[in-house]
Amino acid sequence: MALLNAEIRKDVKAALADVKQPVVFKVFTQEMECQYCKETRELVEEVSALSDNVSVEVYDLVKDQAVAETLGIDKAPAIAVIGKKDYGIRMFGIPSGYEFGSLIESIKLVSEGESGLSPETKEQVAKLTKPVTIQVFITPT
């Protein structure tokens, strides 16, 4: 059974109409002890079916350890949203509810390669000299 109903598919398709540059979901699953791996893979596959420019690559956290390490992925389910380069956008766990909207927005961001942040913020970010990881903890809503 589809995770996205007809109404949501229609909205997502409209939201992704402007996605012109290719975006790849690299989704990591594992066979053992993974609550939402199957659903996470199905979710990104259903989304990718709604745009010609969005594709999915499925990896196994254990069997494809080398790929996982390259992307800094240490748990599953995980999604890396990759555009013309890897911008460092990751989702650990299923992006459902409110975060489904963020997933769709992340596709648009990565495709366009433009953050849309204010000039002040861009200026401040440009001053960074070392790597920073921002983790946002959420629950399904």
Partner 1 sequence: MLLAYQLALESDLIQAHMVEVIEFPHLGNKYEVMGVPRTVIDETIHIEGAVPEPMLMAEFAKLLQ
Interface residues with partner 1 (CB under 8 A) are 35-36, 72, 75, 77, 87-95, 99, 102, 105-106, 109-110, 113-118, 120-122, 124-140
Q: Which is nearer to partner 1, 35 or 65 (CB)?
A: 35
Backbone φ/ψ region at 50: left (φ over 0), alpha (ψ -120 to 50), beta: alpha
For the CB of residue 6, give the shortest distance to partner 1 in the complex, in Å.
25
The helix/strand/coil state of 49 is: coil
For the CB of residue 30, give the shortest distance to partner 1 in the complex, in Å.
12
How far apart CA 135 and CA 3 sit, in angstroms, is 26
For residue 64 the two structure tokens come to 């494809």
For the CB of residue 84, give the shortest distance to partner 1 in the complex, in Å.
11
How far apart CA 80 and CA 83 sit, in angstroms, is 10
Q: Which is nearer to partner 1, 6 or 118 (CB)?
A: 118
Beta bridge partners of 81: 25
Q: Which is nearer to partner 1, 65 or 121 (CB)?
A: 121
For the CB of residue 133, give the shortest distance to partner 1 in the complex, in Å.
5
Count of other CB atoms within 10 angstroms of residue 112: 15
Q: Which is nearer to partner 1, 6 or 129 (CB)?
A: 129
